[in-house]
Amino acid sequence: MTEARPPIRRIFSGIQPSGGLTLGNYLGALKRFAEFQGTGPETIYCIVDLHAITVWQEPAVLTRQTREAAAAFMASGVDPARSILFNQSQVPAHAEMAWLFNTVARVGWMYRMTQFKDKAGRNSENVSLGLLAYPSLMAADILVYHADAVPVGEDQKQHLELTRDIAAKFNHDYSVDFFPEVQPLIEGVATRVMSLRDGSRKMSKSDPSDASRINLTDDADAIAQKIRKARTDAEPLPGSMEGLKDRPEAKNLVNIYAALSDETPAALLARFEGQGFGAFKPALAEVAVEVLGPITKRMQDYMADPAEIDRILGQGAERADAIARPILHQTMDIMGLIRSR
C-alpha cells in the first residue's frame, strides 16, 4: 500500500523571464498553474528575475520580458485575485533566505546539477557565481513560503530533489522539523515537450533555431508553418502509444496535440490510427491556433498597459512578502541570528 500524502496546502512555482515563452512553458507550466486555482491550496506564482540575471540580460530587455511573462501568466488564466503573482526581486526574503541556504547546501551538490553543466559548458570557471548557486535560490523561493508542492516540467526534477536535500539538512543540522518535504507535481503528457526539429532535445527558448519551438507570441501563420515543417517520419500513426516507442518526433506531436485538446493520447490515436502526418499536422495546427491565438491576443492587450502590469506585480509582491517575512524571521531565530523585534 502506498502511504497517503498529506493534503497540499500551498503551491509555489516560477518561470524565468530570460526569453520569450514557448509552448513547452505553456503546456508544462502555465496551463497547469491556472488549473490549480480554486482546487484548495493557495497558489503563489513568481517571475524569477533574480534567476534570469545569473546569465547576462540586457536591462531594458529584461524589464520587457518580465512584463511579458506576467502578461503570459494572466493570458493563460492565472488570475491575480485568486493567486499571488509577482516578480521575485520585489520580495527581498527570497535573496535573504537564499543566503542562509548557501551556508547549508554543499558546493558539490551544485556542481552536480545538469542544468548548471549544460549552461556552463566547458566554461565553468568563468560563469557567474550566481549560476552555480542558482538551486539554492530556487530552494529559497519555495521554502520561504513553506510551500509543499511545486508544479514543474520534467527538467526541474533534479532542482526539486536538491530543494528537499537542503530542507532535510537544515532540519537535521538545527534539530528542528521546520521545512516541509516538497512534493514535485510533474504530471500529464506534456511534462517534457520536445523540439519540433529534433525529438531528442527539449523545446527551449534558448534553442538557436526559432523553427524548433512555438513561441507564445507567434501568430497563426507562424504556428501553422512551424508545425507543417516539424520533423516527422513517413509511417502512418499507430493505434496506441506503444507503437510510438521509437518514434520520438511523432510521439512529441501526439503528446502536444493531446495536451492542447485535453484528451488522452490513446483517444487521439484511436481517431488518427492509420493516417499519415499529411492529415495529422493540419489538424494539430488548427488546434494549436485555436488554443494559442486567444492567449497571444490577451498577452498583447495586457502589454498595451505596462503600468497596470507593474501595479499588479507590486500588489502581488506585498501579499507574498506578508507570508515570506515571518518564515524568514523564524529561520533566522532557529539559526541564532539576532534581529530587532
CA distance 44 to 109: 27
Q: Which is nearer to ligand TYM, 56 or 307 (CB)?
A: 56
- Give the contacts of 320 (CB within 8 A, at least 6 positions apart): 44, 46, 84, 86, 91, 145
N- to C-terminal Cα separation, the chain = 48
- Give the contacts of 303 (CB within 8 A, at least 6 positions apart): 67, 68, 71, 309
Query: Residues 85-124 vs ligand TYM: string with x where CB under 6 A?
Result: ----------------------------------------
Identified binder of ligand TYM from the candidate list 150, 166, 196, 268, rule CB under 6 A? 150
| Residue closest to 195 by CA, chosen among 219, 208, 210, 212 | 212
Q: Which is nearer to ligand TYM, 193 or 317 (CB)?
A: 193
* Subset of residues 189 to 208 that bind ligand TYM, contact rule: CB under 6 A: 190-193, 202-203
Backbone dihedral angles phi then psi of residue 47, each to the nearest 5 degrees: -95, 110
Distance, CA of 82 to chain centre: 19
Identified binder of ligand TYM from the candidate list 11, 25, 31, 299, rule CB under 6 A? 25
Q: Which is nearer to ligand TYM, 72 or 104 (CB)?
A: 72
The one catalytic residue in 31, 117, 119, 281 is 119
Residue 153 binds to ligand TYM (criterion: CB under 6 A): yes
Q: Which stretch binds ligand TYM (CB under 6 A): 20-28, 225-233, 287-295, 320-328?
A: 20-28
> For residue 321, what is its C-alpha cell?
512578502
The one catalytic residue in 202, 226, 251, 281 is 202
Q: Are 149 and 13 in contact (CB under 8 A)?
A: no
Q: Which is nearer to ligand TYM, 212 or 331 (CB)?
A: 212
Known active-site residue 245: no
Q: Are 60 and 21 in contact (CB under 8 A)?
A: no
**From the CB of residue 239, how many other CB atoms can be counted at a distance below 10 Å?**
12
**Nearest distance, CB of residue 89 and ligand TYM, angstroms:** 13
> For residue 13, what is its C-alpha cell?
512555482
User: Which residues bind to ligand TYM, rule: CB under 6 A?
Assistant: 12-16, 24-25, 28-29, 48, 51, 138, 141-142, 150, 152-153, 155-156, 159, 190-193, 202-203
Catalytic center residues: 119, 202, 205
